[in-house]
């Protein structure tokens, strides 16, 4: 086993590799950019080496500097993580030539499989089913349109060196193909340094199911079952689970056999993933092979009990796999939610900034450790409270993983874990995750890769979050308000006859948009015959519905837990001005609890409308203004491109909502923009 390794990555995956390295007694070297100087992976590693400025092309994509760091620190091997240089054949070869071990497949395997065009040809030669398409690099958008017409829409435009949803577009017409080709090339060049793009038929209503494989240097290759990755938004996985609720044992075995055959064809030595698109009749076609560790590897670790990072290190050190195919178990059910820094209520636009609060749910299982009997909750992350989410890299804050004996138990455990995941300072997609987990189609396993596009075609709104009992949130707010009042009663120096009184009757004013508020009568009582509240138990009535609430909530805190009508719950409660904000199962309300008279007077308060900003183009996200496509005085038509903003390695095109004339340019090309910052005005 190695004595010291360098991790050529950042964030969550760098921390994950360090965890296993520590278990094996291996010292670690971290690398970092200026944006990551104080990052968690830097603090966890035994040593750290600066690579350069924040942009990845000036830091994490610099192969020369990474190899120099290995030689300077005496690192015997490099773990590339995922993304960045993990599937770069030239980097793997140069590492090997420098006398350093690459903890991953050999460079020739990456060349054969990491390149999507080459892998399609090889898969076809190995008698693996492949999707119809044009498997040569395409030189121009005009040629892309011509090829797409020949294949027949819809088509998928993909960067050959792509991954993680970068450099990928679906085109349903000539305009989509033309613009998608250019965006894919730009994203691929920026993210991977390789702008080659190809096109294939887009299989409608497909499942995205992948097989985890593991091979060693002694000719042994096994598969570790499958992962269901069909819940995707814009080709970026959102929820992954293992096993799949869809495929049969026969399909599982056939897919595993093909994945192993493909891996053996390229002498694959490490962890890798063979991705398939699966039809309704369980016919499956090779999609691509990821010659690296996957973001969603924890769900496979949870159901098999195998530490994939450990096996990668052992294989790289020359060891044989310690198990055969028949030895690999499949126990229980695991689900992973990717917690991303994005605002689901603003069309999932990136949200960068400082993590003012970061309090994950309590972990009961951990990476690189044995899964407890009955499963548990695991959090893999590369951030800490007070840290920041920079605009230069991907949007992942953490991965939340649960394991349970059955799928429905795993869903219930994940919903509860999301309730207790506190993130403030940046927006997160937790409300969206909660809505997906509560959706009947997801719970029944009846979904495909078009699930999100079908059910949230108009975007995601607060009212899209289902809740079994919305009045419960008001009851939780009332219990917290009662505690605040009880504390206020004890404050000294109150004027006699005018002190705080703990009232029984309230009106809950649930704040709505445009001044449209909901008024609900609320009563708060002690248990019958009790002079005080035992264990904080209160009987709360909301519009005639009664709840027995026992609440553990600290003043100034956010996470609240306890029991409602004898059943445990976890929610988030925080003071917000004169009221409280309550979140549970993805639903969030802002509520004020007033006396009946105050609530009556509140109805007479005038509504102050926000200023009209319709004459401005506002930045919908923090990011870099890379292109201004118009000039003052220019006439524009609805749908015409106005500006391009780059954030978290993705290009976001802003277009005109209506016909108009450009007035003044209010931001400069190359400027870093904040959310809602005016970019230009319309005359």
Query: 208, 288 in Cβ contact below 8 A?
Result: no
Task: List Cα–Cα distances, 601 to 379, 501, 604, 605, 629, in angstroms.
Answer: 47, 20, 6, 7, 51
And the tokens for 333?
Answer: 């059910």
Query: 327, 311 in Cβ contact below 8 A?
Result: no
288 is annotated as an active-site residue: yes
Task: List Cα–Cα distances, 496 to 167, 500, 521, in angstroms.
Answer: 70, 10, 29
Q: Name which of 589, 594, 561, 586 is nearest 576 in CA terms.
A: 589
DSSP class of residue 98 equals T
Contacts of 250 (CB under 8 A, 6+ apart): none
And the tokens for 409?
Answer: 């138990």
Kindly name the residue from 187, 288, 301, 646 that is annotated as catalytic: 288
And the tokens for 199?
Answer: 């096109």
Cα 26–31–36 angle (5° rounding)? 125
C-alpha 140, offset from chain centre: 33
Q: Rounded to whole angstroms, how far apart are CA atoms 521 and 593? A: 10
Residue 679 burial (CB count, 10 A): 22
Q: What is the DSSP string of 566-613?
A: TEEEEEEEEEETTEEEEEETTEEEEEEEE-HHHHHHHTTSPP-PPP--
Cis, bond preceding 268 (omega within 30 deg of 0): no
Q: Rounded to whole angstroms, how far apart are CA atoms 668 and 679? A: 8
Residues known to be catalytic: 288
């Amino acid at each position: 086993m190695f004595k010291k390794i360098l991790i050529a990555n950042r964030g969550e995956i760098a921390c994950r590799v360090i965890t296993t390295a520590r278990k094996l007694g291996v010292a670690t070297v971290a690398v970092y950019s200026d944006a990551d100087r104080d990052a968690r992976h830097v603090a966890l590693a035994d040593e750290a080496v600066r690579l350069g400025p924040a942009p990845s092309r000036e830091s994490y994509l610099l192969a020369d500097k990474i190899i120099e760091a290995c030689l300077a620190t005496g690192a015997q091997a490099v773990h590339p993580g995922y993304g960045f240089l993990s599937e770069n054949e030239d980097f793997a070869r140069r590492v090997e030539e420098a006398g350093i071990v690459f903890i991953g497949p050999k460079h020739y395997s990456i060349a054969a499989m990491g390149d999507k065009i080459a892998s399609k040809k090889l898969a076809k030669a190995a008698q693996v089913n492949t999707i119809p398409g044009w498997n040569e690099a395409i030189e121009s958008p005009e040629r892309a349109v011509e090829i797409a017409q020949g294949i027949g829409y819809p088509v998928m435009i993909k960067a050959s060196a792509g991954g993680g949803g970068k450099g990928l577009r679906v085109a349903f017409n000539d305009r989509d193909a033309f613009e998608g080709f250019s965006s894919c090339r730009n994203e691929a060049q920026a993210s991977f340094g390789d702008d080659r793009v190809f096109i294939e038929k887009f299989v409608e209503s497909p499942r995205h199911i992948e097989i985890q494989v593991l091979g060693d240097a002694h000719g042994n290759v096994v598969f570790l079952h499958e992962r269901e990755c069909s819940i995707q938004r814009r080709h970026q996985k959102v929820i992954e689970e293992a096993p799949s609720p869809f495929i049969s044992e026969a399909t599982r075995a056939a897919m595993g056999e093909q994945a192993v055959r493909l891996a053996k064809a390229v002498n694959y030595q490490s962890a890798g993933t063979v991705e398939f698109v699966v039809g309704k009749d369980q016919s499956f076609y090779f999609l691509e092979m990821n010659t690296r560790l996957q973001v969603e590897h924890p769900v496979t670790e949870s159901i098999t009990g195998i530490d994939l990072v450990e096996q990668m290190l052992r294989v790289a050190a020359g060891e044989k796999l310690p198990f055969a195919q028949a030895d690999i178990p499949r126990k229980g059910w695991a689900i992973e939610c990717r917690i991303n820094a994005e605002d689901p209520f603003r069309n999932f636009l990136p949200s960068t900034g400082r993590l003012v609060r970061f309090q994950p749910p309590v972990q009961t299982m951990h990476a690189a450790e044995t899964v407890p009997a009955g499963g548990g909750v695991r959090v893999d992350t590369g951030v800490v409270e007070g840290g920041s989410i920079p605009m230069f890299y991907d949007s992942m804050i953490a991965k939340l993983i649960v394991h349970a004996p059955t799928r429905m138990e795993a869903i219930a455990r994940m919903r509860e874990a999301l309730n207790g995941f506190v993130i403030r300072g940046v927006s997160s997609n937790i409300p969206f995750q909660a809505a997906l987990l509560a959706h009947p189609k997801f719970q029944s396993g009846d979904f495909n890769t078009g699930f999100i596009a079908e059910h949230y075609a108009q975007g995601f709104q607060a009212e899209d979050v289902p809740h079994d009992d919305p009045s419960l949130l008001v009851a939780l707010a009332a219990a917290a308000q009662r505690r605040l009042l009880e504390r206020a009663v004890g404050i000294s120096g109150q004027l006699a006859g005018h002190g705080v009184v703990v009232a029984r009757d309230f009106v809950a004013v649930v704040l709505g948009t445009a001044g449209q508020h909901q008024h609900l009568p609320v009563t708060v009582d002690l248990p019958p015959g009790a002079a005080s509240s035992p264990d904080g138990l209160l009987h709360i009535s909301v519009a005639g519905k009664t709840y027995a609430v026992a609440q553990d909530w600290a003043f100034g805190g956010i996470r609240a837990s306890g029991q409602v009508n004898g059943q445990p719950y976890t929610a988030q409660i925080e003071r917000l001005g004169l009221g409280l904000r309550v979140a549970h199962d993805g639903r969030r309300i802002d509520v004020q609890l007033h006396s009946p008279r105050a609530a009556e007077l509140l109805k007479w308060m005038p509504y102050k409308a926000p200023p009209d900003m319709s004459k401005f183009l506002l930045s919908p996200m923090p990011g870099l203004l890379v292109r201004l496509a118009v000039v003052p005085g220019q006439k524009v038509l609805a749908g015409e491109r106005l500006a391009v903003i780059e954030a978290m390695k993705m290009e976001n095109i802003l277009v005109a909502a209506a016909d108009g004339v450009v007035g003044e340019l209010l931001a400069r090309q190359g400027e870093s923009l904040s959310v809602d910052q005016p970019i230009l005005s319309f005359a």
